[in-house]
Amino acid sequence: MAALGEDLLRVVNQLQDLVFNTIGTDSLDLPQIVVVGSQSAGKSSVLENIVGRDFLPRGSGIVTRRPLILQLINVEEDESEPDLHAAYRNPNQARRSEWAEFQHIPSRKFTDFGDVKREIEAETSRVAGNNKGINRQPINLKIYSPHVLNLTLVDLPGLTKVPIGDQPPDIEKQTRTLISEYIAKPNSIVLAVSPANVDIVNSEALKLARHVDPLGRRTIGVLTKVDLMDHGTNALDILSGRVYPLKLGFIGVVNRSQQDIQGNRPMEEALKAESEFFRHHPAYRNIASRCGTQYLAKTLNQTLMSHIRERLPDIKARLNTLMGQTQQELASYGDMHFSGKEHRGSMILQLMTRFAASFISSVDGTSTEISTKELSGGARIYYIFNSVFGSALESIDPTSNLSALDIRTAIRNSTGPRPSLFVPEMAFDLLVKPQIKLLEMPSQRCVELVYEELIKICHTCGSTELSRYPRLQAKLIEVVSDLLRERLGPASSYVESLISIQRAYINTNHPNFLGAAAAMSHVVSNRQERERKKLIQEERERREKKRLKELGANGTDILEDEEEAANEKSELVNPRKQSAKASRSMSPAVRENGAASIAAAVNGARSNSPNRLHSQPAGNARDSFLNYFFGKDGAASQVGGAGAPSPLPRHVSQSAEPTFSQSIRRGEDKLTHRPALPSSLMREEESPRTTNLGAGSQFVGDSSELHALSTLTSQIDNMEPALTEREAMETELIRALISSYFNIVRESIADQVPKAVMHLLVNHCKDVVQNRLVSELYKESLFEELLYEDDGVKKEREKCEKLLQTYREAAKIIGEVL
C-alpha cells in the first residue's frame, strides 16, 4: 500500500478524531464508507470481516436498528509493524493494544469483543426499544487495533418491506430516508451489499445507490453469499461487470454462515476458508485475486484514499471558514491573555475606556450598533427636545385655566384702594406670572426624560467582552448612573431658575410683545366683528319675524311677549352690570391709542341702527360697550344703585378719587365677598390657580374700618358673577396680553431648556464619564472582584478556544499532505 495512501487515511482519521471528539458532530463531512442493503443481505457480516473481529450482533431477524458509526483506528504495536496482512496471517496471535470505545461510555475501554457486541445490543434497545423498532440516533464505536486500516464505516438498518413488532407502518420509508441521508453526502462511499442468491435485478442496495450516485462513481458492489448460489449457477457475469455497470466494480465475498456464527467459528478460519473457496471454485479460480474480503478491504482503502484526495481541498476550504467563524466568535469575548495579575489593571482600563466610548458614541449617535427598530441614544434625545418637549410646550393654552372671574378678581385686586387708569396692565402683571409657571412642569419632565434616556443608554453600553465580567459591567453602569443622578439636581434646578427668572421680571418692552394698544385694537376688532355678525343675524331674524307677521302666522304675539319678558328679566338680574361699569376705567393712553378704532366701531354700529341701540336692554353687550367708552345718557345714572349717581361723562368721573361706593365695595369684596358667593363660585375662587396669584391678590385696606362700612353696603351685591361689559372687555384684553407675553416666554424656554439640559447633563456627563470611571473603579483592591468571570461566558469562551485550536490542528494536518 502506498505510503501516501496511509498518510491520507491517517490524516482523515486524525481529522475525524479531532473534529468528532472535540465538536461532537462531523462538521467537516469527512469521507466514510456507508453499508447499505436489504435485511439479511450480509452487511454486518461484511463489516466484521473487514475489521477481522467478531463484534457485531447478527442474526436472521432485524438486528441492526440504529446506525453504527464505526471508526477503525490503526495503532502501532511494539513488536511488529502494523500491517494489513498480519491480522489475517496470525489469527491466534495475542492482540495486545487492541480495544474498543463507545462514545456514550467514553471512560470504558472494551477489550473483549463479546462485550462490545452486548453493549451494541443494549444500547440499541435502550434507544430503539426491544421490539424491532429502529432509531436514527447513531451509536459511535471506535476500534483501536494494529491490525485494522484506518477507515470509517457506517452500518445501517436493512431495508424491509413488511412492518413487524413495534415497527411503524411506514418502516420501509423511514429506513429508506435514513439510508438516503447517509449515502447522499458526496463524501461517502456506498457499499451496496446484495446477496448472490437473489436476482441482482431485485437488489434494493443498488437501487438506493443509483439514486444518489447515478453514474456509479462512488458505489462499490458487494456480492455476499456467493457460497449459497444454486448449483450450476455463478456470479461471474455480475462480478465481471457485465450485468450491472459500476466504475468501482463488484466484489464477491463469502461470510460466515449462521451456522458458523452459532458454532463460534473463528474469524481467522472463516477468512481462510473464504480465500480457499475462491481459489478452488472452477468459476472464480481465474479471478480469485479480485475476490474475497481481503481484496474488498484493500479496494475500500484505495477508493477511500483517492476519494479523500479529491475531497481534501474542499475540506480545507471548509476548515478555513470554520476557523474564521470561530475566531470571530472568540474575538467577541475579548482578548483572553490577561491571566497574569500585572495585566488586570490594563484590562480593566481597556474595558472602562470602551464602555465610556460606547456611552459617548451612543449619545452622539455615532455608535455602530444603531437600532433600526426604535429611536435610541442621541436621536432619542433630539426627539425628546423637539417632539416631546416642543409639543408639550405648544399644547399649553396660556389662559385656559383663567376663568373670567379669576381675571376680574385680579383686575379688582390690582387696582388697590385707588382706581387705576389702566387697570389691565396691573392685572396683567399679576396674572401672567403664575401662567409662566405652567412652563415648568414640561421643562422638568424634559430634564427627566433625557436623564432616563441616558440611564437607558448606559445600560446598553456593554459588549460581549464585558459580559464576561458581570460585576465589572454592573459597576460601570452604577458609576455612570451615579454620575447622571448627580447631574440631575443641577440641571433640574437650573431649569427651575430659568422659569423663575422669567417670572422675576415681566418685560413689557419686549419688542415682540403685543402691547396694550395693539391688544386693545385686537380686542376691539374682534368684538366689532362679532357685533357685526350679530347685527346681521338680528336683522335677518327681524325681517323673518316681520315676514311671518305679515303672512298672519300664528304665535307672533306670543313671540313678542316673550321677548319683552326676557328683556325685563335681564335688567332685573343684572343691576350690577351698570354699577361695575361706573367703577372701571381705562388709562388715557389706551383711550388715545384705541379711540379711533373704537370710535369707528361704535359709529359703525350706531349708524347701522341707532334706534335699536336705544331700545336694547341695559345688559346688551353692544350698548354697554358704547356706554363704557363714551358715556351715554342714563348710563351714569344707573350707577346710582351703588352710591352717588354721577352725572359726568365717564372719562371725567374716572379721573377722580374713588367714589365712596367704590371704596366700600372693595372693602366689602374682601370681607364679605367670599362668604356671600354661591358655593360653586367660591370653589372656583379658592382653586389653586387663584391662590397662586400670590400677594397681589390680597386686598389692601384697614379691615376694621372696612368691616364697619360693609354693613352700610350690604345692598351692594357681589353675588352676581356675570361680567359687566367693561369687565368682559378687560378680560379679553388681559387674555390677549397674557397670550402674547406667554408666547415670548415659551419660545425662550423652548430654546433654553434643551441647551441647559445638554450643557449641564448630557455634555457634562460625556466629558467626565471616563475620568469618573477611572477614579471610582481603577483601584488595585477592586481588580479581583471586578474581573470575576461569568461562568457561562467563561465556558463558552473556553469551548470556542478549544474549537479554534482543533481547527488549527486540523488545518495543520491537512497542510502536511496537501
Q: Binding residues for Mg ion, per CB under 5 A?
A: 43-44, 64
- Cα–Cα dist 776/120, whole Å: 62
Report, in Å, the least distance between residue 254 CB and ligand GDP. Answer: 5
| Stretch in the footprint of ligand GDP (CB under 6 A) among 224-232, 331-339, 391-399, 787-795 | 224-232
Residue type, 175: T
Site string for ligand GDP, 10-49 (x = CB under 6 A): ---------------------------x-xxxxxxx----
Nearer to Mg ion, 159 or 352 (CB): 159
C-beta of 114: minimal distance to ligand GDP in Å? 17
- Whichever of 38 and 646 has its CB closer to ligand GDP, that residue is 38
Contact call for residue 255 and ligand GDP (CB under 6 A) = yes
Task: Please identify, among the stretches 221-229, 559-567, 709-717, 730-738, the one whose residues bind ligand GDP according to the rule CB under 6 A.
Answer: 221-229
Binding mask 103-142 for ligand GDP (x = CB under 6 A): ----------------------------------------
Find the binder of ligand GDP among 121, 227, 684, 717 (CB under 6 A).
227
Interaction of residue 60 with ligand GDP, rule CB under 6 A: yes
Measured from the CB atom, is 59 or 168 closer to ligand GDP? Answer: 59
Closest CA to 476 of 764, 760, 769: 769
Helix, strand or coil, per DSSP, at residue 139:
strand
In whole angstroms, how close is the CB of 7 to ligand GDP at the nearest point?
32
What's the min distance (Å) between Cβ of 15 and ligand GDP?
Answer: 28
Of the pair 156, 381, the CB lying nearest ligand GDP is at 156
Instruction: Collect all residues with Cβ–Cβ distance below 8 Å to 557 and sequence separation of at least 6.
Output: none
Min CB(316)–ligand GDP separation in Å: 35
Which partner, Mg ion, ligand GDP, none, binds residue 39 by CB below 5 to 8 Å per kind? ligand GDP
158 contributes a contact to ligand GDP by CB under 6 A: yes
In the complex, what is the shortest distance from the CB of residue 73 to ligand GDP, in angstroms, rounded to a whole number?
23
User: Judged by CB under 6 A, which stretch of 2-10, 250-258, 438-446, 761-769 contacts ligand GDP?
Assistant: 250-258
* Residue 225 engages ligand GDP in binding (rule: CB under 6 A): yes
Listed residue (408, 410, 405) closest to 434, CA to CA: 410
Nearer to ligand GDP, 256 or 581 (CB): 256
Point out the residue whose Cβ comes nearest to ligand GDP.
42
673 binds, among Mg ion, ligand GDP, none (CB under 5 to 8 A by kind): none
Least distance between Mg ion and beta carbon 141 (Å): 14
Q: Which does 187 bind (CB under 5 to 8 A by kind): ligand GDP, Mg ion, none?
A: none
Report, in Å, the least distance between residue 6 CB and ligand GDP: 29
Q: Using CB distances below 5 to 8 A depending on partner kind, what does residue 60 bind out of ligand GDP, Mg ion, none?
A: ligand GDP
User: Which partner, Mg ion, ligand GDP, none, binds residue 756 by CB below 5 to 8 Å per kind?
Assistant: none
Q: How far is the CB of 276 from ligand GDP (least distance, A)?
A: 14
160 in contact with ligand GDP (CB under 6 A): no
Shortest Å, Cβ 29 to Mg ion: 25
CB of 275 to ligand GDP, least distance (A): 13
Exposed/middle/buried for residue 656 (C-beta within 10 Å: 0-12, 13-18, 19+): exposed
CA–CA distance, 355 with 738 (Å, rounded to integer): 49
Q: Annotate 708-755 with DSSP letters as a single string.
A: HHHHHTTTS-----PPPHHHHHHHHHHHHHHHHHHHHHHHHHHHHHHH
Contact 48, 124 (CB under 8 A): no
- The HSE-up count of residue 463 (CA atoms within 13 Å, CB side) is 22
Report the partner that residue 227 touches, choosing among Mg ion, ligand GDP, none (CB closer than 5 to 8 A by kind): ligand GDP
Closer Cβ to ligand GDP, 68 or 479, answer by number: 68
SS in 3 state form for 632-663?
CCCCCHHHHHHCCCCCCCHHHHCCCCCCHHHH
Distance CA 546, CA 406 (A): 43
Q: How far apart are CA 275 and CA 705, in angstroms?
A: 142
H-assigned helices in 129-189: 171-184
The residue type at 447 = V
Classified as helix, coil or strand, 165 is coil
Helix, strand or coil, per DSSP, at residue 541: helix
Residue number, 43 or 584, with CB nearest to ligand GDP:
43
Beta bridge partners, 154, equal 34, 69
Count the neighbouring beta carbons within 10 Å of the beta carbon of residue 419. 19
CB of 119 to ligand GDP, least distance (A): 17
CB of 226 to ligand GDP, least distance (A): 7
Q: How far is the CB of 338 from ligand GDP (least distance, A)?
A: 56
3-state helix, strand, coil in the chain (%, to 5): 65, 5, 30
Q: What is the CA radius of gyration of the chain?
A: 53
Give dist(CA 246, CA 195) in Å, integer.
17
Q: Are the beta carbons of 723 and 688 closer than 8 angstroms?
A: no
Burial 662-671 (b: 16+ CB within 10 A, else e): bbbbbbbbbb
Q: Between residues 257 and 467, which has the closer beta carbon with respect to ligand GDP?
A: 257
How many Å apart are CA 277 and CA 294, to the nearest integer? 13
Q: What is the tally of helices (H) and strands (E) in the chain?
A: 34, 9
Cα–Cα distance measured from residue 323 to residue 333, given in angstroms and rounded to the nearest whole number: 16
By C-beta, is 180 or 387 nearer to Mg ion?
A: 180
Distance CA 358, CA 367 (A): 7
- The residue length of the chain stands at 818
Which phi and psi (to 5°) does residue 216 adopt?
65, 35
Asked if 407 contacts 731 with a C-beta cutoff of 8 angstroms, the reply is: yes
Answer yes or no: are the C-beta atoms of 207 and 254 closer than 8 Å.
no
The β-bridge partners of 191 are: 35, 220
* Binds ligand GDP (CB under 6 A): choice among 124, 224, 414, 624: 224
Binding at 221: pick from ligand GDP, Mg ion, none (beta carbon under 5-8 Å per type): none
Complex with Mg ion: residue 203 or 414, whichever CB lies closer: 203
Q: Which stretch binds ligand GDP (CB under 6 A): 80-88, 223-231, 510-518, 640-648?
A: 223-231
- Using CB under 6 A, pick the residue from 117, 147, 256, 666 that binds ligand GDP: 256
Return the one option of ligand GDP, Mg ion, none that residue 462 interacts with (CB less than 5 to 8 A, by type).
none
User: Which residues lie across from 143 on neighbouring strands?
Assistant: 72, 100
Q: Dihedral (C-alpha) 768, 772, 775, 780: value to the nearest 10 degrees? A: -130
- What's the grid cell of residue 791? 461562568
Residue 774's binding partner among Mg ion, ligand GDP, none (Cβ under 5 to 8 angstroms by kind) is none
x-or-dash string of contact with ligand GDP, 260-289, rule CB under 6 A: -x----------------------------
Residues at the interface with ligand GDP (CB under 6 A): 37, 39-45, 58, 60, 63-64, 158, 224-225, 227-228, 254-258, 261
